[in-house]
Structure formats: structure tokens, C-alpha cells
Structure 1
Amino acid sequence: MPVSSAAPQAISSRLVALMAFCCALAVSTIYYHQPLLPQIAASFGLAPTHAGLIATLTQLGYAAGLLLIVPLADCRQPRQIALLAIAVNAVALIVCAAAPSFTLLCVSCVVVGVTAITAQIIIPVLSGLATLTERGRIVGDLLSGLSAGLLLARTIGGVVGAYTGWRVVFIMASLTDVLLLIIVARSLPATANLTAIPYAGLMRSLGSLVLEERVLRYCAAGGLMTFAGFSALWASLAALLAQPPYEFDSATIGLFGLVALLGIALSPCIGVLADRLGARTMVLAGAVALTVGFAFIAAGGQSLGSLIVGMVLLDFGNRAGLIANQARVFTLRPEARSRLNTVFMGAYFLGGAVGAALGNYGVHQSGWIGLAVVGTLLALGATVINVLSPREPSSTPAEARS
């Protein structure tokens, strides 16, 4: 099996593509159910908006997994950690499929979230292999895979669930874990430069990184606000589209995930632009796009065209912020990439949980307008944070090779 070294090196396009596919499979398990939330709620005799709790708890579980598991990849072989997480994830998905009560389903979804973190183990491993001049592109490629899993899982889950029921979708998700397990076992590079540090020290070092790295704090806060706005839409979209005037079924709702195909295709380009224009510039562009997007979402109840335009802008805004911020974070401390990723992505998916809860609250209060107000405030918060963030120093040729 390939072994990574401390020195940056060329990475084969085949390995990047394969790991991007793994990122898609890993993250998809926490999103298959989102277009099925009204169907799940109905099966337990609940109102459609009550099932939003499942999305919130899954995101909280993911944030917890980032905090408690991903840092271990700085001192244990990432491949071993990923394989164990995938196996537990597969079992938790089967429990979801068989859950006799809404409470057990919620608990199982937390476990699914906690163990769906393989993508966040893969990304720091390959980032550590990359040179500075290609890091943005490679992170963009990997995140295009992650984004494909995140968004296309909704389409697949919605279509399959409409014809077979939501329980079959959880079984299908568990089967994808088997494929993921095989690929990761065979292809994820082993890491040579591991840090000898006990788990308690590892956890304490997260706080030290937050205190010492100003750029990390701004990236984490901006990522939290950006993904909160993005998740506010997606966690409540199914409930809105199931109501008048649209009254779409699960299969049709799932097809809205295809709106993101353009953004997925552009992800590598966003990574290249981040390398050329600077990550801070791309994050600001993303935050502005998110803000404008919610102006179109406000009209989503009357115009399907406005809704789709808003979704495209939100997808670009979230994608630009994620790719650029993560590439920026990975330049800070090479020996602590997994922990840096933990802080950033932990904040990012904590924002997903917050946004899911706030989005459902906004919809419950005022429908599409309530959602747009919540999303706009979050997007404006992301914009302000980025404007206040420190500028990037110009890189030297020596830095470009590091």
C-alpha cells in the first residue's frame, strides 16, 4: 500500500479521483434521508416539520465525530480509523432501517453522523501529500466528490424512497459502506509522519490551535455561518415542497439535488481560482453569492424559477467558502492537519445543525419568507466575518514548494 511522507510530492490523478469517490460515498450516508423527512414523519404519525429533528441530530453527530474521532488521524494510522468508522456506520444504518420508534431512529441517526467522517480523514491525508501550488486544486477535487455525495444522495434517496419506502434507503446506504470499506482498505495511503501524543493531549491541543491560530478562528466562524445558511434551506426544503402550491412527492423533491451538478463540475475550477486569486477573495465571493441567493429563495413559494436560481447561488456560495477556507486552513501547521481539519469542519457541521434548526423554525413561523430571513442573516454574518478576517501574506517560491 502507498505510504505518504512528510515531503510534498506529485499525486496521481487516479488516486485523487478514487479518493474523491470515497468522499462522496462517506458523506452520502447522512443525506439520503433528507428528501424523505415528510415520509418518515408520516410513518410515525408526526407533522412533516417534526422530522427536521433527524437532520439536526445527524449534523450534530457529524460534528461530534469530527471533534472526537478525526484528531486521532494525527497519531494513529488514518486508514485504520476510517475502516472502523465505516464498519460502525454500516451497522448504525441497519438499525435506522429497522427502528420501531422515532426515538430509536433519532438515536441511530446520531451514531450515523458520528461515524460518517471518513471524508474528513481522507482530505488531510492527500492534502499532506500535495505541494502548496496544487493544494487548492486537489482539495477542490476531493470536495467536489464530497459535494456530489452530499447533494446527489438527496436525489437518489428521494427517488428510491418514493418507490420502496424510507427503510430501504437506509439499507441501501449501509450497502454503499461495504464498497467504501473495500476501496479505503486497498487505496488510502498510509501516513509516515504521525505524532506521538496521548488522546487527552490531542483534545487539549485543539483548544491551543484555536487560541494560537487567528486565521483558523476566522475560517471556522465563517464556515459555520456559511453552512448554516446552506443547511437552513436543505433541511427544510422537503417540507416546503411537499406543501401547496407544489405538493411534490419524495422522488420529485429528490430531483432538486440535480441543481447542484453545475457547482460540482466547477469545484476544481474554484480550487484553481483560490490558488490564483487567494482564498480570502473566494470566500468573500461565496458569502455574497449566498446572500443574493436568499433573495431569490424568498420568492420560492411563488416562482419555481426563482427557487432554482437561489439554489444555484447558494450551492456556489457554500462550495466556494468550503474549498477556499479549507485550503487556507491546511497551510497553517503541516504536523496538525487532521486537528486543524477537526476544528474547521467541526465548526462547519455544527453550523449545519444550527442552520437546520433555524431553517425549520423560520419555515414554521413564516414559510418561504421565514426561511429567507434566517438564511439572509446567516449569510450576512459570513460576509462580515470574512471582511474582518486577516489578509493572506504573499507566498514566496520556497513556500510554494512546502
Structure 2
Amino acid sequence: MIDRAQDGTSLSGRSVLVLAASCGFAVANLYYSQPLLPAMAAAFDAGAEAQGAIAMLTQLGYASGLLLFGPLGDQLDRRKLITVLLLANVAALGLCASAQNLPWLLAASVLLGLTAMSAQVIIPAVSGQVDPAQRGQTVGRLLSGLFAGTLLARTVSGYVGAHAGWRSMFLLAAALDLVLIAMVWVHLPRAGSESDLSYARLLRSLVELFAREPLLREACLTGFLLFGAFNVLWGSLAMMLAGPPYGWGSEVAGLFGLVGLVGMFASPTIGRIADRFGGRRVVGGAAILVMLAFGLVAGSIWSIAWLIAGIVVLDLGSRANLVANQTRLYALLPAVRGRLNTIFMTCYFLGGAAGSTVGTFAAGRYGWHGVAIAGMLCAGSALIATVGVRAAAQRAVQGND
């Protein structure tokens, strides 16, 4: 086995900025559909169950893509890997745009998610090109771009869907993928293989890493629960806003993506806090913020101001969770960052798929209060897990004294 860390190389601030934007474009493909879910389901005379299925299968496809293709970031030239993934993603977007029935659309949604994981090749690659003391801040900048993509995707797709139809949004996304290929080739440094393991051995090593590294397991659990909470709201938001007391369409639902931009510039600061105080404290704080956010969401039945406040706080908590967990994982074993990221993000988006399913179920049965309770339960479980791990670590230290 050959393991080579590449922490000695540096990237310019401009390249980091462009690659942050690239992360946003790449991940946006997962979220274009969210404000459009009611219109997409209505096109095939389907209801809430179909909306939940589209959101869930896209997230499940993404988790599967991370598992299947993420390890290749430690083995292949990353620019070539990203190019192949994006070209396949263009094909998947075309299939979504041309879907003639619901099964076709559901299958295309799986393929869309499966090939949309280029950002998770870019982020660990860039983290290996910066000074370790600045890694948290740099990862935070990349994640600012990624979060901007998740939020602006909803706003753009809501507008395009309202004025040109939901199929047009997928065609526009395919064109943006082609631009993204050029951005990555110009700004992502060429890197050689960091491992000579075979593909089958790389996949087996994922299980070994998960079994061997308690920090990785902790990050996977908290990531699963807190991103699940995030998607409890976002997976059901368009459906809830379309119903009483609001009755709003995709354009207005998409505008709520702009609300989350209030905290977009917090990611580098969160990264610096994680560098200084440790990721576990930041993740615990993130869980508390997410619980508070869903307390605010519960008031959405009375006033839209409660929902806006809840989205802002939820966005901050979700950012803190992802930045802190990824920062501490990238410092754990530098030579296998791609595989660590694969394991973590697979669990993270499995949580997203579960959250989307739970959110649409809770929204359909119990309304805003059901969404709030489901989100708070996810975040509360993450807080319990974080506190429990911290307490166990302190007992272990005291036992060794």
C-alpha cells in the first residue's frame, strides 16, 4: 500500500474561491427539485407520497454514488473522475427533463443523485493542498460555496419552474454542468494517486476504517441525525407552503432559499472555531441550534416570521455540523481523506434521505407541529450522542491517570 499526503502544496485564494463555487454548482443538482416537487408529482397525477419518493431517491442515489465513486478520489486523477461524473450527470438531468411517467422520473432521480457527488471529490482534494493550520478555514470557505449552491438552487429552480416549467430547470442544470467541467480543469491541481489499492480493496478499506476509528463513527452518527433534521424541513417545505394557511407555489417556496444565505458567510468562522476549540464542542452547539430552529418552526402555523427565523437558525446549525465534522475528519488520517469523506458523507446523505421521508410523512399527517417534533427528535438524539461520547472520553482519560 502506498499512502502519500500532499499537505505541502498551496492553492491561491482565487482558486479556492472558484472551487468553492464549483462545489455549489455540483451539489445544486440535488436540490433543484425541492421547490418543484408538487408540480413534478402533479404532472403524473401523484400526491405527497410521490414528492417524498423523488426527494428520498435523489438523496439515496447520492449516498450510493459517494460509496461507489468516492474512494476513487484516493486512486484516480480527480479532474478526470469529476469530468466523467459530470458528463453522466448531464445525461441524468436530460432523463429527468424528458420523463414521461413517474417510474421514469424516479429512476432518473436515482441516477441524478448517483452522479452528483463531484463536490465530495473537490473538498478532500483541496484540503490536502493547504496549510494544516488553515484547513478548517479553507474547508469552511469551500462549504460556504456548497451551502450557497444548496440554497440558491431552490431559489433559481422555484423561479424557473414557475415561469418556464420544471422540465426547463433540469435542462438549464445540464448546461451549467458543462461550465463546471471547465472550472474544475482550470483550477483544481493535478494530483497523483494517493493509494495503489485495487478498487475492491478500497471498498473493503471503508469497512475497516469505520470499524477502527471511533471519531469517524461519532461523526457519521451526528452527521446522519443533523442532516436528517435539516431535510425534515426542506423535504416537506414546498408541500407545506402550498397548503393552508399560505397556498404558495414553487416561486415563493424557492425564495426561502435566500433566507438561509443569511448565515452563508459564517462557515469560515465556524471552521476557525472548530480549529481552536475542537469539533465535538461545535457539533454539540450545532445540535442545540437545530433544536431551537424547530422550536421556531412550530410557530409557522401562526406567522411566516417564525418560519423565517427557524430557517436562519437551522441553516447555521447545519453548517456548524458539517464544517466541524469534516474539519476534524480531514485532520485524522491525511492520506485517506477521500475515503474518510466517503464514509461520512454516505452516512450524512442517508440521513438526508431518511429526513426527507420522515418530513413528508409528518407534514402530511400532523402539519407544522409534526415537522417540528420530528426535527427536534433528530437533533436531540445527536446532542445525546455527542454528550455521551464526550463523557466517555473524559472517563477514559481519568481512568488512565
TM-score (norm 2): 0.95
* Alignment partner, residue 380 of structure 1: 380
Partner of residue 398, structure 2: none
Shift of 1:9: 3.8
2: CA distance, partners of 1:257 / 1:235:
13
**1:96–1:105 CA contact under 8 A, matched in 2:** yes
Q: Residues 49 and 239 of structure 1 are in contact (CA less than 8 Å); yes or no, is this contact kept in structure 2?
A: no
1:12, distance to aligned residue in structure 2 (A): 1.2
Please tell me the root mean square deviation across aligned C-alpha atoms, in Å: 1.5
Distance 1:391 1:120 in 2: 31
The residue correspondences of 1:266-281 to structure 2 (distance < 5 A) are 266-281=266-281
Identify the residue that residue 84 of structure 1 maps to in structure 2. Answer: 84
Provide structure 2 residue ranges, at least 5 long, that are not aligned to the other structure: 394-401
1:274 CA drift (Å): 1.3
Residue 121 of structure 1, CA deviation: 0.1
Q: Distance in 2 between matches of 1:193 and 1:263?
A: 36
- Asked whether the 8 Å contact 1:280–1:391 carries over to 2, the reply is no
After TM superposition, list the pairs within 5 Å mapping 1:2-401 onto structure 2.
6-390=6-390
Deviation at 1:129, TM superposition (A): 1.2
Farther-moved stretch of structure 1 (124-133 vs 110-119): 124-133
Post-superposition Cα deviations, 1:216-251, rounded to whole Å, max 9, x if no partner, equal 000010000000000010000000000010001111
Deviation at 1:11, TM superposition (A): 2.5
AA aligned opposite 1:62: Y
Kindly provide the amino acid, as one letter, of the partner of residue 216 in structure 1. Answer: L
Shift of 1:48: 4.0
The residue type equivalent to 2:82 in the other structure is A
Residues 137, 268 of structure 1: 8 Å contact kept: yes
Aligned residues with identical type, % of pairs: 43
Distance in 2 between residues matched to 1:13 and 1:279, nearest whole Å: 24
How far did 1:308 drift? Answer: 0.9
Shift in Å, 1:131: 2.1
Are the equivalent residues in 2 in contact too, given 1:215–1:390 (CA < 8 A)?
A: no
SS in 2 for 1:129: coil
Contact 1:34/1:154 (8 A) holds in 2: yes
Counterpart-to-counterpart distance in 2, 1:359 and 1:125: 33
What letter matches 2:12 in structure 1? S
2:48, 2:360 within 8 Å by CA — same for their partners in 1?
no
1:74 is displaced (CA, Å) by 0.7
In 1, Cα distance between equivalents of 2:256 and 2:113 = 23
Which shows bigger deviation, 114-123 or 126-135?
Answer: 126-135
Could you tell me how far apart the structure 1 residues matched to 2:347 and 2:383 are? 16
Task: Give the aligned residue type for 1:234.
Answer: W
Deviations 1:32-65 (A, max 9, x none): 1110111111111112453121010000000000
* Aligned 8 A contact 2:260 2:312 in 1: yes
Structure 1 unmatched runs, 5+: 394-402
Distance 1:345 1:97 in 2: 27
Question: Do 2:30 and 2:58's aligned partners in 1 also have CA atoms closer than 8 Å?
Answer: yes
Q: Which amino acid aligns with 1:116?
A: A
Residues 309 and 87 (structure 1), Cα distance of their counterparts in 2 relative to 1, 3 Å cut = same
Q: Is the 8 A contact 1:5 1:193 kept in 2?
A: no
State the Cα deviation string for residues 328-351 of structure 1 (Å, max 9, x = none): 111111111000000111110110
Q: Secondary structure at the match of 1:55?
A: helix
CA contact (8 A) 1:26 1:180 kept: yes
Counterpart AA for 2:263: G
CA contact (8 A) 2:5 2:334 kept: no
Residues 7, 132 of structure 2: 8 Å contact kept: no
Q: CA deviation at 1:143?
A: 0.5
Cα deviation, residue 388, structure 1? 2.3
Contact kept, 8 Å, 1:38 with 1:49, in 2: the verdict is no
Is contact 2:61–2:113 with CA below 8 Å preserved after alignment?
Answer: yes
Deviation at 1:282, TM superposition (A): 1.2
Rounded Cα–Cα distance in structure 2 between residues aligned with 1:251 and 1:17: 29
Cα distance between partner residues in 1 of 2:157 and 2:266 = 24
Query: In 2, Cα distance between the equivalents of 1:122 and 1:40?
Result: 31
Superposed displacement of residue 264, structure 1: 0.8
Of 62-71 and 295-304, the range deviating more from structure 2: 295-304
Matched residue count = 390
Residue type at the aligned position of 2:176: T
2:172 alignment partner, SS class: helix
Cα drift, residue 70 of structure 1: 0.8
Partner letter of residue 96 of structure 1? C
TM normalised by structure 1 equals 0.95
Structure 1 SS opposite 2:268: helix
- Kept in 2, the 8 Å contact 1:288–1:383? The answer is yes
Deviations 1:2-52 (A, max 9, x none): xx9723343311111010010001000111111011111111111245312
